[in-house]
Amino acid sequence: MHALVVDDSRVARKVLIGVLRHQCAFEELSEAGDGDEALKALETAKFDLILMDWNMPNMQGIEVLRKIREMGRKVPVIMVSSEKERSQIVEAIGAGANNYIVKPIVPEVVAEKVQETLDQVANAGGRERSRRALVADDSGVMRQLLMGVLTKNCGFEEIVQAEDGAEAVELSKKAIYDIILLDWNMPNMLGIEALGAIRENDQTTPIVMVTSEKEGARVVEAFDAGATNYILKPFEPAGIGEKINEMMADHF
């Protein structure tokens, strides 16, 4: 296992390297003092994990993260930063961060977040896992619209489609998803029924009802069945993208 620690503070790098070596069993550790050094390191080595500070000279950590994703590199990246505003956590998620740790550095918290992130990779069969979403809607146009939001606004790279509730339930059993979007009115199985069926086996994945059903009783029914959020159609793409990123931030 090879990790890269990127921080302009030598002390912070030393602490993080110590956690990775002694509490997370990393055998090979590299460090970079700014974003430019980090990108150069990525040109010559393959990493299993990157810990990235936000505020650094030459290039901000969030910019480095975006460049890493633009390069097509799916290596897990954890932002370790003193930036604790919710809007910045949401921004990091949208840029493709796998996890987020707020400074000051607490070794136990770092170890826990690192293990959590590595478990995600392990559950993907040892591969660097891209962010994956499941979109269920019987309208092909709506699926394409939601897929566009997830990829352009939320940093998702892999989108799986389902045309009805029954297909969504089956697909939910075959892979790990970072979020699931369900329409309410679909053939074979309603979205609300699919929601209940998915929650029987999965209590943690964020599930969002994206529907034209706007009666208060429907909203209550969805949350009682385990919905994480409820979004009404029609919607503004930027608005739903922000909501999805906020939910992912709550998950960190």
pTM: 0.62
**List of domains in the chain:** 2-123 (3.40.50.2300), 132-251 (3.40.50.2300)
> What pLDDT sits at residue 199?
94
The pair of three-digit structure tokens given for residue 179, joined into one six-digit string? 């979020």
- Between CA 214 and CA 220, with CA 219 as vertex, the angle to 5 degrees is 145
The one-letter amino acid code at 234 reads P
Kindly give the confidence (pLDDT) of every residue in the chain, 252 residues in length, as a single tens digit, with 9 standing for 90 and above: 899 999 999 999 999 999 999 999 898 999 999 999 999 999 999 999 999 999 998 899 999 999 998 888 889 999 998 888 888 888 888 888 988 999 999 999 999 999 888 887 666 554 455 678 999 999 999 999 999 999 888 888 889 999 999 999 999 988 778 899 999 999 999 999 999 999 998 888 899 999 999 899 999 999 999 999 999 998 888 888 888 888 877 766
Q: What are phi and psi of 204, to 5 degrees?
A: -115, -35
Two structure tokens written together for 139 = 């309208």
pLDDT of 127 = 47
Q: What are the φ and ψ backbone dihedral angles of 120, each rounded to 5 degrees?
A: -60, -40
Whose tokens are 């990157």? That residue is: 50
Q: In what order do the strands lie in the sheet with 158-162?
A: 158-162, 132-136, 179-182, 207-211, 229-232
Give me the pLDDT at residue 87, please: 82
Number of Cβ atoms within 10 Å of the Cβ of 229: 19
